[in-house]
Amino acid sequence: MRLLHTMLRVGNLEKSLAFYTEVLGMRVLRQKDYPDGRFTLAFVGYGEESETAVIELTHNWDTPAYDLGTGFGHIAIEVDNAYAACDAVRAKGGKVTREAGPMKHGTTVIAFVEDPDGYKIEFIQKQSGDDTY
């Protein structure tokens, strides 16, 4: 068994695709419209679906926005430098919601950014050894 993808419902597919590709540097791996169901699925990620987990963006054509609820936490992405990653997101018009710095009660450097629908993405700065979290 392996993890395939995480699905997020998005209100504006174009804005979401721009964020995940232009701001976070992912690629659109595949995209398909389902006219009879009035929805589109777009899969984005850093590698091929056969090799790594990806994100499925589901756009229901008649739903412009969603309530995020309290159950979903965040998506985590490993970055070489969380400070630089935040600067890059900000430079591309993205929203940084927690600046890079050590996590509370720990030493791992983390940051949080937000996609156009309000989903949180955590940057975890790459570390050497077993000192993550």
Q: Where in the chain are the domains? A: 5-60, 75-125
**Res. 39: pLDDT tops 70:** yes
CATH code linked to domain 75-125: 3.10.180.10
At 22 the pLDDT is 97
Quote the CA–CA distance of 33 and 11 in Å, as a whole number: 15
Q: How far apart are CA 76 and CA 53, in angstroms?
A: 12
CA distances to 7, 36, 55, 89, 117 from 61, in Å = 16, 11, 19, 27, 15
The pLDDT score that the predictor gives to residue 100 is 98
The answer to whether 5-60 and 75-125 have equal CATH topology is yes
69 has a pLDDT exceeding 90: no
pLDDT of residue 68: 86
Share of the chain above pLDDT 70, in %: 95
What is the pLDDT of the chain when averaged over all its residues? 93
pLDDT over 60 (residue 63): yes
pLDDT digits (tens, 9 = 90+) for 87-130: 999 999 999 999 999 998 889 999 999 999 999 999 999 986 65
Domain 5-60 in CATH 3.90.420.10: no
Mean pLDDT (whole number) for 26-54: 97
14 is catalytic: no
Q: Indicate which residue of 14, 49, 99, 122 is catalytic.
A: 122
Q: How far is CA 9 from CA 26, 46, 89, 124, 132, in A?
A: 17, 19, 22, 24, 30
Question: What does the alpha-carbon distance between residue 115 and residue 69 come to, in Å, rounded to a whole number?
Answer: 15
Is the pTM of the predicted complex or chain greater than 0.75? yes
What is the Cα–Cα distance from 39 to 28, expressed in whole angstroms?
A: 17
Helix or strand (DSSP H, E) at 88? helix 82-91
